[in-house]
Homo-oligomer: A and B are copies of this chain.
């Protein structure tokens, strides 16, 4: 008999679902007791329904679960949603309508005016929208979302600089293949190549960033007024999205002050010592050629964002590099941290 909080994963057999299962293995608060997938998997043992695509092997703890259909009923109160965008709207709303707390990695509800798009270090206060969401939708449950994997890297890197007045930013991402799932990117497309296009990605980075870094006033989200331009590219890297960032500030602090701001940055997850919170959420690396995805992305269990090379930008004043783990900090880990925050807010009771 576990004293842990039972949780379910919607879309558990897919690649994002597998990331959830791996990240949640041995979690101190949560235990996966329920796995939802499509009709054709329902009824099978998880080990039989699933081709394990992640490096290493399937966690023993979930191999024996019986896969369920993605319908509320016998699922635990807390469910993580790794469902595909094509079905996420319907599934997530069905669960939220049936008293479930849905902590979603899907893009479908992120930009809704009554749904929190959370990065707990940055905008934990946005959770306050929950009451309005329930009231407006007539739900007893709740939907909370985390951002696109590239947006997390950018917002975590910009959050420490908000105090200096961000006015404009131009970001170019070099994104890992794991961001596209499985089979995802064909090796014929990406081997020794760059693909300078990822469908819908630039738009997501541009609008999600404004929502996350924006305020929450009088019960409504107020987007940050900064202008954001994103160039999104796929590169032959396994895990970790790297971003080059030029940023314009309304003040002109010396560079050392920005570096100090990265290092000093902390948020609610650190204050409350949440289990998945990195001790230092933004790690500034002084080496001239870091961070690098293959060398740094697994540090801090993939939950920190790494910055480096802060220097003057002839156009915008400042430029630097940022890196984050797209399937951890940008997906499964992000959602789990959201759930941890929600627990400490009493939203899982």
Contacts and interface: CB of A to CB of B under 8 A. Distances in A.
Interface of A: 53, 55-57, 168-170, 172, 174, 177-178, 182-197, 206, 227-229, 231, 233, 235-238, 242, 244, 246, 288-296, 298-299, 308-309, 313-316, 319, 321
Contact of A183 (B183, B194, B298, B316): B183
B57 A193 contact: no
Given A168-B315, A193-B292, 20 more contacts: A56-B296, A56-B298, A56-B299, A57-B299, A172-B244, A174-B233, A183-B183, A185-B187, A187-B187, A191-B236, A191-B238, A192-B237, A193-B293, A196-B292, A196-B321, A197-B289, A231-B321, A233-B244, A235-B236, A238-B294
A235 B194 contact: yes
Contacts of A187: 177, 184-187, 189-191, 236
Contact of A177 (B57, B188, B228): B188
A168 B319 CA distance: 15
Given A177-B187, A186-B182, A244-B172, A194 B231 contact: no
Give the one of A187, A238, A315 with max B CB within 10 A: A187
B246 A194 contact: no
A193 B294 contact: yes
Give the one of A186, A237, A291, A296 with max B CB within 10 A: A186
A121 to B, nearest CB: 22
Contacts of A55: 294-296, 298
Nearest to A240: B194
Given A56-B299, A196-B292, A314 B227 contact: yes
Given A168-B315, A229-B314, A299-B56, A188 B182 contact: yes
Contact of A231 (B172, B190, B227, B235): B172
Closest CB pairs A-B (n = 7): A183-B186, A231-B244, A172-B172, A197-B289, A193-B294, A229-B315, A187-B187
Given A174-B174, A188-B178, A238-B191, A229 B313 contact: yes
Contacts of A244: 172, 196, 231, 233
A19 B197 CA distance: 25
Contacts of A292: 193-196
B229 A192 contact: no
B319 A231 contact: yes
A331 to B, nearest CB: 15
A197 B288 contact: yes
25 contacts: A55-B298, A56-B299, A170-B313, A172-B172, A172-B244, A174-B194, A177-B188, A183-B183, A183-B188, A184-B188, A185-B187, A187-B191, A191-B238, A193-B292, A193-B293, A194-B237, A194-B292, A196-B289, A196-B308, A196-B309, A206-B314, A229-B315, A229-B316, A229-B319, A236-B237
A191 B313 CA distance: 29
